[in-house]
A and B are shown apart, each in its own frame.
Chain A
Amino acid sequence: MTQPVLSVEGLTVQFPTRRGILTAVDDVSFAINPGEVLGVVGESGAGKSMTGSAIIGLIEPPGRIAAGEIKLHGERIDNVSSDRMRKIRGRKIGMIFQDPLTSLNPLYTIAEQLIETIRRHLPLSHADARKRAIALLDDVGIPDAARRIDDYPHQFSGGMRQRVVIALALCADPDLVIADEPTTALDVSVQAQIIDVMKRLCADRGAAIMLITHDMGVIAETADRVAVMYAGRVAEIGPVEKVIRSAAHPYTQGLMGSIPTLSTDEDRLTQIPGAMPRLSAIPAGCAFNPRCPKVFDRCYHDRPDPLPHEDRRVACWLYDKAEAEA
């Protein structure tokens, strides 16, 4: 069995606040294999971005990793020095954020930002770094890259800027790219192109992708496996075609009932009646119990952990062996 690029075990992220400690990510575990695309879905506030930030070590204080381990190629990266982490970010793990309009520094040309990043991680001369930058821009589909490279971010459209962001994330050939809602801020007409570019480039380079989105349609078309998050926890994780065709967790079933064609409707995931609880008001037992159509006694007392079920893991008492036998 190959070693995963990334494995996350029992990750817990907390924020101390005046009204007590909030747990934004609660005991989350998953792994991503080389070249694999793991989709992460869930409603806004489910803890998807926080999980991504934890992995690249950019949680804003006072937030902190309270428990768990994050391993890159089997080596822990959650407790290394900030200097060491800076050499991992960009080099081993690339990151793409939601809004391409604000991800690029407005005062520097695309060339300056690309070359700065390339030379930070790779021992290249300025001229070679520039060649590499132009080749990358070509790859991500910027027409006339050799000329456009000296333009400033504001001279590009949103879709083109996101291509530049992808080039920046990939410029040191990372093994993993974390894409946090990379198309949410874009025009519907370019969303599919951007996902295609990202997927093709990562496939060419053998880079794995952690694709965070609330768009089940994107997941269905792009991901190999999918993790469904709810209130800071993993509800269900497994191969994408299985999860989509026969969702096990009642929350995932609700999501699948509302699978749309590619569109930008932000509220699509909330078609299950009710709303995800705030972090300060997560109910005892299963966090989904106020909205769950299949809720029963035990759901109010015990919190289910994601346990193996067929070829996936599901955090729901319906699939507990002891429960099934009773």
Chain B
Amino acid sequence: MLAFILRRLGQSVLVMLVVALIAFIMFRYVGDPIASMVGQEASSADREALRQQLGLNDPFYEQFFRFITNALQGQFGISYRLQQPVTELILSRLPATIELAFTSALLALVFGVGFGVFAALRPKTISTAAIMTGSLIGVSLPTFLIGIALIYVFAVELQWLPSFGRGQTVQIGWWRTGLLTESGLRSLILPAITLSLFQMTLIMRLVRAEMLEVLRTDYIKFAKARGLSSRAINFGHALKNTLVPVITITGLQLGSVIAFAIITETVFQWPGVGSLFINSVAVVDVPVMAAYLMFIAFVFVVINLTVDILYYVVDPRLRVSGPARGH
């Protein structure tokens, strides 16, 4: 187990180094950092001084090493656009994105698993047909269309829910949360549904397919032959076996939920990291873009690692390195 975790940790560090390299190359060579930092009117002597001071004349590997040391300390430079430290910017935007992403992932997981199990256990009912048809719409419509449709129905026509922003927020330490006020929660509903829909249908279809598969296995037949209750068979035996792939997919999806949040955040003017990124791309604010790239990579790596460990916890077959065979 420890060896396994260490090996996976090693791989994670490697992945992060590669991403850091890409981010660094972008940071250093896309556009001219000096031009972005000083105005047009600075003299070439001033520029050269600044270049020297920032170490831009140092050899590549020294600069890269400095980039990584800084990154490890959470320093990604100053945003060209907002003239604020990038880390500060991202941290201030992070709570909005995380609250949105986790609410969506939770919605997707709860309803995805629920609908999936229902569809597998009651394959020939009208409700199942409705769920399956609905899920087709969920996977095929682009996120921004769903978002706009929801805004049109619930914000414009019915005027039940706000169409943009986070509503009122409360500051707790450095974390600014929208989960504690009514307007914050109301603001969260539409974007969370929008962001969750795709993952929800994905999870639902996966759970249904896996569950149908598992229900056909010999051990389920044997569990029935032992006279176990339907509840024990469906949830204790069948659902637990479908969870292994579901955990993997859901975990990986959480990464893409955070990445996909860009679209939803833009549609709903949600003040998260995603909309920060989009605004930075528009003006080639390279430090922010580089930091965002590192951030998303970090999220994926951490989630992957967690998923692998969870996998380990759920599936005993992975725990023993070689099967200790009886005779």
Chain A contacts to B: CB under 8 angstroms: 56, 58, 86-91, 94-95, 97, 99, 102-109, 116-117, 120-121, 142-143, 148, 151-152, 154-157, 160, 165, 168-169, 172
Contact = CB atoms under 8 A, between A and B. Distances in A.
Query: Which of B221, B227, B316, B326 has the most chain A CB atoms closer than 10 A to its own CB?
Result: B227
A154 B319 CA distance: 11
A106 B227 contact: no
Contacts of A94: 225-226
Query: Which of B221, B237, B317, B326 has the most chain A CB atoms closer than 10 A to its own CB?
Result: B326
A116 B232 contact: yes
Contact of B325 (A91, A142, A157): A157
Interface residues of B, number: 28
A86 B227 contact: yes
Nearest to B320: A155
A168 to B, nearest CB: 6
Contacts of B227: 86-91, 117, 120-121, 172
B326 A148 contact: yes
Nearest to B214: A105
Interface in B211-258: 217-219, 221-230, 232, 236-237, 240-241
Contact of A90 (B219, B226, B236, B316): B226
Nearest to A102: B218
Contact of B226 (A89, A151, A156): A89
Nearest to A142: B326
A155 B324 contact: yes
A157 B241 contact: no
A185 B82 CA distance: 70
Interface in B293-327: 314-317, 320, 323-327
A180 to B, nearest CB: 10
Given A156-B325, A160-B327, A107 B225 contact: no
Contacts of A90: 225-228
A58 B224 contact: yes
A91 B226 CA distance: 8
B217 to A, nearest CB: 7
8 contacts: A89-B227, A97-B222, A106-B316, A120-B227, A155-B323, A155-B324, A160-B326, A160-B327
Given A97-B218, A157-B327, A106 B226 contact: no
A154 to B, nearest CB: 5
A85 to B, nearest CB: 8
B239 to A, nearest CB: 11
A120 B225 CA distance: 12
Contacts of A156: 325-326
Given A105-B223, A120-B226, A120-B229, A155 B241 contact: no
A50 to B, nearest CB: 13
Query: Which of B226, B240, B320 has the most chain A CB atoms closer than 10 A to its own CB?
Result: B226
A6 to B, nearest CB: 15
